[in-house]
Structure 1
Amino acid sequence: MNEKKIETFLSHDGKKAHSHGAVVPPIYQNSLFTMKDWDDIDKAFDDRTNNYIYSRGNNPSAKIVEDKLATICGGDSAKLFASGMGAVSAVMLSCIQKGSHVITVKNIYGPANNLLQSYFKPKFDIEITYISGTDIAEFENAIQPNTSLIYLESPSSVVLSLQDIEAVARLAKKHQIKTAIDNTWASPIFQKPLKFGIDFEIHSCSKYIGGHSDVVAGAVIGDKADMESLFTKEFELFGAKIAPFEAWLLLRSLRTLKIRMDQHQKSGLAVADFLENHPKIAKVNFPGLKSFPQYELAKKQMSGTTGLISFQLKTADLDKAKSFFNGLELFQIGVSWGGHESLIYAPAISYLKELNEDQFKGLGISLGDMRISVGLESAEDLINDLSQSLSKI
């Protein structure tokens, strides 16, 4: 980054001026790239990962974003996917084979868990060990001779529990096991898993990286060897490539990523503090609070916190939970997060459709659990909205 601050690096789109002095790069909305002669295209095929041949492989609109993500994450290269699950699927496929064993944490993203349980397990006869992930001994005790992947999500879904990323990476390398982490919650601004030794960093770019709730995309970042293998196999062959326009939207978003994340952090802390001190809230899960059980670990491996918070109402009465949920005016109801707008979602809505009662209880959540994404509105206005709705229960 030539010693430049991250916000400066993200605000510029390359060393060379674009055509006609355009301050914003054009969208390369083309399916293929032509060559001058036989030798030219022959040479391009010898290095498909670094040449423009066909947009299912590389496209200039995507490449600008990929290079920026690789730089800010501390990786050698990155690939954009059509969705976060496209990225998750590619990484898992690259790390498992028939009969593999996977270690993961209990509270990973629901569709990622469904992919392991409902697809890979019956299709490839893999074994899966779920752990809380809060103690490195859990990982060590779970390792088997056929363990090929340790899949992390830190902070994890719903409960926002952390894993000691550096310790897990060190253990995995000792046993020659690949590691991957969903780093969407912290974003590349506040957590750098690759620098701790993780092999694959995954993002749902639909969240903070996109930030405007107008694009669905995913990204994988890693070292040269891993990413070249991922490119020629799971990326090219499965075809989950991003469209040029979506890549261009992500480039737009990267310019303000640092500024947005600073505001999400500031407002998120204010809202979390309000909730923690409210008499109708039983518990707040947020790594930025000093009361959070893993606060010291959060400070060690993250440089900041964001705007995604989960909390538990002091009631498991469904009618009261609905009253609070429906009574909010500024928090819109929606499943995603990380955009400019504030959102609320109750994990029970989807988890009860995907899990039986025992599995639901095993996740440590209840009907009174809520998840909010603090957007870019005034924190004071958001707190007032939460206050008026909490008064209804």
Structure 2
Amino acid sequence: MKFGTKAVHAGVTPDPSTGAIMTPIYQTSTYVQESPAKHKGYAYARGTNPTRNALQQSIAALENGQYGICFSSGMGATDAVIKLLNPGDEVITSNDLYGGSYRMFKRVFEKYGIKFHFIDLTQADNIRSVLNDRTRLLWIETPTNPLMNIVDIQACVAIARERKLIVAVDNTFASPYLQNPLDLGADIVMHSVTKYLSGHSDVVMGALVMNDEKLYQELFFLMNSCGAVPGPQDSFLVLRGIKTLHLRMERHCLNGRKIAEYLKAHPKIGKIYWPGFTDHPNHAVAKKQMRDFGGMLSFTLKDDSLDKAIKLMESVELFSLAESLGGVESLINHPASMTHASIPPAERVKSGLVDSLIRLSIGVEDAEDLIADLDQALAKV
């Protein structure tokens, strides 16, 4: 089944009692049982809910996975993966990582005896420099947030298999439309469903997808035991959003390319980070493992001034200054003070995330209007 058909139909069947084509919102906390020894598979809504089940099946299908589990946020999903580990275990991850993930790893889990190595994963062989007998998990983010670095998933998996590590991939920036990490050998795919899967800036949710039944049972146990579960209303909204995921992603990619090319040609722009350019360090890897290059990009001004970067962000009219990404509307973001503020300044700069960096989430508006907005804003700096 092609992706667009899966987006519309996967996980969704007409309601058996009414024939409703849209999955009903099962707004209930508990389920009446026929007897203590016999029930219909639903007991308490923290564990299972029919609306959420339909969504989990849909997301799993989009990632070519067997099992999906939804959580109340992307961080809730990430939290469950780290809880697979024990004190003394070690994790290898990127030095260019979403600030919320960094904060959780460093400030929550390190005090429980889990050690994290933050390294440059754009060269897979770097993994060997910190790999040891205590390593249990490789956490990959690609493209990375916000520098759009590309990690070769297959190359990293090949090294991880030598030590039987769990490989988890944060696929939020790419979405399953552009990239399917399970097909490249990963064990777990994580999504901040809040972003492209939902697509309308009205839901906070996370998801994990996997093929291994034992891994699924362990993660389901953690979800049910720890309780970071989404409600049926949010599950319904994401099911609705997924039906247009392929259409939205086509437009995000088209607009992203146009705006990246516009910025690259602008005399006031310094560096631009977008994997679709042939001079991007890992463009060949992006071309191999992604179907297109997405609607996320970052840049700095040639006059690398924080004051001018702030002036630009204050001057846009169609772009909204806000955290998050992946919605139909275009957003402009200042990672150093917003999404990545929890990372110490020295660590940010070491990975290339300077204070003047600007991140764009390109929406589905007319690209010409977005370019005109950037043009008038750049004229003021």
TM-score of the superposition, structure 2-length normalised? 0.96
SS of match in other structure, 1:310: strand
Contact 1:28 1:244 in 2 (8 A): yes
Partner of 2:231: 243
Alignment of 1:239-318 (within 5 A): 239-318=227-306
Q: Deviations over 1:291-310 (max 9, x none)?
A: 21211100111111221111
Name the % identity: 35
**Aligned partners of 1:283 and 1:171: how far apart in 2?**
32
1:209 maps to which residue?
197
Q: Secondary structure at the match of 2:144?
A: coil
Q: Does 1:322 align with 2:319?
A: no
The question of whether the paired residues in 1 share the 8 Å contact of 2:300 and 2:357 is answered with yes
Per the TM alignment, residue 185 of structure 1 is displaced from its structure 2 partner at its CA by 0.3
Q: For 1:63 and 1:221, locate their aligned partners in 2 and report how far apart those are by CA, in whole Å.
A: 13
Structure 2 counterparts to residues 358-377 of structure 1, below 5 A = 358-377=346-365
Q: Tell me how far apart the structure 2 counterparts of residues 331 and 11 of structure 1 sit (CA, whole Å).
A: 29
Deviation at 1:283, TM superposition (A): 1.2
Does the CA-based 8 Å contact 1:316-1:367 persist in structure 2? Answer: no
For the pair 1:55 / 2:53, whether they are aligned, the reply is: no
Q: Which runs of 5+ in 2 are unaligned?
A: none
Matched, 1:92 2:89: no
1:134-283 matches, within 5 Å, as: 134-223=122-211, 224-232=213-221, 234-283=222-271
Structure-1 residue corresponding to 2:19? 21
Shift of 1:17: 5.0
Q: Which has the higher helix share?
A: 1
1:293-341: CA deviation from partner (whole Å, max 9, x where unpaired): 2111001111112211111111232221121111101000101110011
Aligned length: 379
Gaps of 5+ in 1: 45-50
Displacement, 1:19? 3.4
The answer to which of 318-327 and 215-224 deviates more is: 318-327
AA of the residue aligned to 1:53: A
Structure-2 separation of matches of 1:368 and 1:38: 62
3-state DSSP of counterpart to 1:371: strand
For residues 137-185 of structure 1, the C-alpha deviation after alignment (integer angstroms, 9 at most, x for no partner) is 1012220110011111011111111111011112212211111111000
Partner letter of residue 31 of structure 1?
S
Runs of 4+ in 1 over 3 A off after TM superposition: 13-19, 350-353
Deviation, 1:70, is: 0.9
Secondary structure of 1:350's aligned partner = coil
The alignment status of 1:119 with 2:117, answered yes or no, reads no
Alpha-carbon separation, structure 2, partners of 1:356 and 1:55: 40
Question: Normalising by structure 1, what TM-score?
Answer: 0.93
Q: CA–CA distance in 2 between the matches of 1:357 and 1:322?
A: 18
Q: Using the alignment, how far apart are the partners of 2:287 and 2:341 within structure 1?
A: 35
Q: Structure 1 8/356 Cα, relative in aligned 2: closer, same or farther at 3 Å?
A: closer
SS in 2 for 1:349: coil
> Do the aligned partners of residues 381 and 18 (structure 1) sit closer, same or farther apart at CA in structure 2, a change above 3 Å counting?
farther
